Amino acid sequence: MRSEEVARELAGPLYGKESWPIRFYTHAFSAACFNTLACSFLYNNYQFGTEKMDWTGRVVDRPSGPQPGDHSVLWNAVHAIVPKNGETFPGPVDLRWTSLDGTDLQAFVDLDELFRERLVLHNVTREHIPRTWLKHLSTDPVSPTILVELDDRTISVYMKAMIVAEGVDAMGNSDRRLRSDPILAWTHTY
């Protein structure tokens, strides 16, 4: 199957497919590391983490520190990833880090395999999603943010997407809200 055919298969309502379950084709990416002596993420030819180059070209690492109390700050710095040649993901995330005990580690997280169905992860049932919003996905599909988080020896992958949900408020009135809950997709400890 050609990459364009794969893209059409995965794109959901963009190509006349059913809008439920909600699927994605584009995404944003964010990375965060905590409790490491040094860390580097490489994704889409962009480097994230604590590894930096000084003015002489020498690589300098620094400890990453503990997790912040407010986890929402991790979702602020995102990088939009546009599909190339029909591929949603530009390759795996290459992680290299030094854990708190001084062990040098490396791992690859294959987002293409992890999200092979291209399903948007969320906590809203179909009954609580307005049909008009689902129809709207054919012209403006959901583009979730994927966060890869490293904490000492544990890698966790989360997804967060803006979903319109409706329900009934305490007074019995129709109530529409935007939901954007971070959902854990995968975790592994090394």
Check residue 63 and give its pLDDT: 72
Instruction: Using the structure block, give the residue that is written with the tokens 């490396």.
Output: 106
Structure confidence at residue 135 (pLDDT)? 84
pLDDT at 17: 63
Question: What is the pLDDT at residue 115?
Answer: 96
The contacts of residue 60 (CB under 8 Å, 6+ apart) are 51, 52, 53, 54
Write down the pLDDT at residue 56: 66
Q: Determine the pLDDT at residue 57.
A: 63
Q: How far apart are the first and last CA of the chain?
A: 35
SS3 190: coil
Question: Do 60 and 54 contact (CB within 8 A), yes or no?
Answer: yes
The stretches in the chain having pLDDT less than 70 are: 1-17, 52-62, 70-77, 168-176
pLDDT digits 0-9 by tens, 82-96: 888 878 899 999 999
Q: Give the per-residue pLDDT at 178.
A: 84
Is the Cβ–Cβ distance between 41 and 64 less than 8 Å?
no
Instruction: Encode pLDDT of 143-170 as tens digits.
Output: 999 999 999 999 999 999 999 988 755 5
Residue 167 and residue 123: Cα distance in Å, rounded? 14
